[in-house]
Amino acid sequence: MRFRREAPIGPDPEMSAPARRAADARWAPRLKWGLLGLALLAAIWLPFVVSSFWVNLATQALFFGLFALAINLISGYGGMITLGHAGMLGVAGYGLGILTVDEGWSLGAAVGAALVAAAVASAFFGILAVRTRGTYFVMITLAEGMVVWGIAQRWQELTGGENGITGIPKPGFATEYWEFYYLVLAVVVVCVVLLARLVRSPFGLSLKGIREGEDRLASLGYNVTLHKLLAFTISGTLAGVAGVLLAMHNNFIGPSDVFFLASADGLLMAILGGIGTLSGALVGSAIVVFIQNEVSTFVDRWQTILGIVFVVVILFAPGGIVGTWTRMVWVPLLRRLGAHEEAAQAETAATGAAPTVGAARSAPAASTAGERRTEGAVQVGSRQEEG
Amino acid sequence: VTLHEFWLQLLNGITLGALLFLVSSGFTLIFGLMRIVNLAQGSLYLVGGYVGLSTIRATDSFLLAVLAGAAAAAALGFVMERGLLRLVRGQPMSEILLTVGISFIVADLALATWGGDPETLPVPQAIDTSTSIFGLTYPVFRIVVVAVAVVVAIALWLLLERTRTGAMVRAGVDDQETAAALGINIKAVFTAVFVLGALLAGLAGVVGGAYLSIFPGADVEILVYSLVVVVVGGLGSLRGAIVGSLLVGLTYVYGQTLVPDLAYFVLFAPMALILLVRPQGLFGRAG
């Protein structure tokens, strides 16, 4: 009964209240926040210690991390795997490019309009996609993303076709590489804080409920379709923010930024880092960006490496790096130090979404007709549901 | 659009539809039995096309190219099914993501092996002419493509509906557990169907390489076409694949004539429409 684990875990009734409090030291969440604070300090310090090359990589890791976070919101928390999110990123990126370069808008107004465009586009795509679930949802989002690619690649007049749009400006206050880095860092931190609040809100909890059992939530009277549509739109808009930052960073947007591979890369980042965790998306993007930029100078076939990483993670570590870290290191550590409640929460949070993308550990591996499992049917998309 | 052009594009649409049917029939067959959405179907197409290209360069024989391309894709399909997909049987999301990972690898290795330039397979001389059909001059090769698709469609129908193997597949589609309990080796049936689907994609790759040309990214393009085909026609339905292919082929070709910039965009109109009205597709089973 995975659904119940998600509910806030209260004190164990069998234990007396004082004993419980003593056992569950309050340092555990503080330790986590402390680590996050340290990471943020390190991020702020970064431009002082490394060269512009690495700062540029970090900038990319941040906005791609935001992209992966956007994917993570619907795929990790909502359980709807999308392979078309580069389309939303592209709507905003191209919107910014067309408005600033071709139409001569001021940057601020163009950014606003580009984000509105991304929100509208994702609402529209969402209306079509959320009518379906499971594998159908994957196929439809893939096709939707490729619609945007089709326009980017073929509608020469509007999008510049294969040449894309060059000369997209950075804001006047962030033209230096380190200034732009801080801008991206600030935007990402704000988005992460908002997302962290969102996923812990009643809306976020019902989203997880949809992941665990859409029909159950529907029978409880939730408007599942509306929840999914909202999540899709928020996620698409966030991808749009990433798209705006990407277009500014590269001073360019082109069809390859919108292609299927870009969507799949984003999903890979989210899964590699740890699907259903906020920190995972950033970890995953850092690794993928590193492979794409740094490893590619030594190995031509970095795309193959990404593919192999993809396969290995799906097969052996569906919880990703953060999920595995939590399971192997963090939870045992908390348990050893006596914070059992915190440990249970951390375990649920970090591994709850893993079955969405990988093997459901609780399910018997030998089941050939796995999809007809009635219990733990986390993988939406059984025949009855899809028709 | 002149009347002449209208008829010409009708033929072109049917030809493209025939090619799409070759890819999407394999796709829909695999899904129908195994519930696997094989996003590496485009990669199998790509491998088929490129292996066909190399074969034709080495041997000058289009027939050998078709055989080699189809065999290469089938072999890759065998490895995928036995080596990877079997490990996550019954977990649709793992399966779908695995096929994405595989498509990364195949696309990159194909780029390393065959380079980044678009290549066109030479059409065999015997059918590299034009003929008059309904008063229109039309390349014989394209008529052959349609004929191949018709033959494949009939063969698949006969295989599924009229043979013992087909009965086993249908039994598997309806109820895997009971089929297995009745002594059908369902795992072998799975592998056979997956390999058959891959083989069809490889065949389509060689044909498509001669008709459209083959290039990095062709895998994703053809995959997206097939996705639209099966979403329109209904996933898992052979009849849906036929109707969907024709619909998508015609939409694309007419779209390209009328609004060339937006042809790819127009392609998705039938999909959006179908999704709003009938989410399970024209011939999909109701949910």
pLDDT band per the 50, 70, 90 thresholds, residue A322? confident
Confidence grade of residue A385 (pLDDT, cut at 50, 70, 90): very low
Residue A152, chain B, CB below 8 Å: the answer is no
Question: Given pLDDT bands bounded at 50, 70 and 90, which one contains residue B164?
Answer: confident
Q: For A142-168, how does the pLDDT look when each residue is reduced to its tens digit (9 = 90+)?
A: 888 888 998 898 888 888 888 889 989
Task: Work out the number of other CB atoms within 10 angstroms of the CB of residue A297.
Answer: 8
Query: Is the confidence at residue B12, as pLDDT, over 70?
Result: yes
Please report where in the chains the tokens 């290039």 appear, as a residue. Answer: B215
Quote the ipTM score.
0.85
Please list the alpha-helical segments (H only) found in chain A: 2-5, 17-23, 27-49, 52-72, 85-97, 107-129, 134-154, 156-159, 177-200, 202-219, 224-250, 260-274, 278-293, 302-316, 320-325, 331-336, 340-351, 354-357, 383-386
Task: Give the integer Cα–Cα distance in Å for A118 and A93.
Answer: 9
**B67 CB-near residues (< 8 Å, 6+ apart):** none
The whole-chain average pLDDT of chain A stands at: 81
Is-contact B228 B267, C-beta < 8 A?
yes
**A123 touches B at CB < 8 Å:** no
What percentage of chain A reaches a pLDDT higher than 70? 84
pLDDT band at residue A17 under the 50/70/90 scheme: low
Q: Do A155 and B261 touch (CB under 8 A)?
A: yes
Disruptive mutation site among A74, A135, A306 for chain B (greatest number of B CBs within 10 Å) = A135
> How far apart, in whole angstroms, are the C-alpha atoms of residue B265 and residue B159?
36
Q: How far apart are CA B215 and CA B218, in angstroms?
A: 5
- Report the pLDDT value the prediction gives residue A111, as an integer from 0 to 100: 92
Confidence of residue B132 (pLDDT cuts 50, 70, 90): confident
Per-residue pLDDT at A18: 52
Which tokens is B53 given? 């290209």
- pLDDT, tens digit, 9 for 90 and up, residues A173-209: 888 888 899 999 999 999 999 998 998 888 888 888 8
In percent, the amount of chain B with pLDDT more than 90 equals 45
Contact by Cβ (8 Å): B9, B254 = yes
- Residue B116 contacts A where some CB pair is shorter than 8 Å: no
Q: Does residue A16 sit in helix, strand or coil? A: coil
Most confident of A46-55, A260-269, A315-324, B74-83: B74-83
Window from A18-27, A87-96, A118-127, A213-222 with minimum mean pLDDT: A18-27
Residue A370 has pLDDT above 50, yes or no: no
How close A385 gets to chain B, by Cα (Å)?
5
- According to DSSP, residue A372 is labeled G
With bands split at pLDDT 50, 70 and 90, how would you rate the model's confidence at A358? low
Q: Report the pLDDT value the prediction gives residue A117, as an integer from 0 to 100.
A: 95
* Residues in Cβ contact with A38 at an 8 Å cutoff, skipping those fewer than 6 apart: none
A144–B105 C-beta distance less than 8 A: no
pLDDT of res. A328: 84
Q: Which of A140, A314, A371 sits opposite B97 (nearest CB)?
A: A314
Question: Who's near A50: CB < 8 A, 6+ residues apart?
Answer: none
* Reduced DSSP (H G I as helix, E B as strand, rest coil) percent helix, strand, coil of chain B, to 5: 80, 5, 20
B181-228 pLDDT tens trace: 888 888 888 899 999 999 999 999 999 999 989 999 899 989 989 988
Range with the poorest average pLDDT among A80-94, A252-266, A281-295, A339-353: A339-353
Q: Is A162 on the interface with B (CB under 8 A)?
A: no
A291 inside 8 A of chain B by CB:
no
Q: Could you count the other beta carbons within 10 Å of the beta carbon of residue A23?
A: 14
Chain B hits for A386, Cβ within 8 Å: 235, 280, 284, 287
Residue B202 in 3-state DSSP? helix
Q: In this predicted structure, what is the pLDDT of residue B111? A: 92
Closest-approach residue (CA) in chain B for A360 = B91
Distance CA(A40)–CA(A29), nearest Å, equals 16
Residues facing residue B131 across a β-bridge:
B138
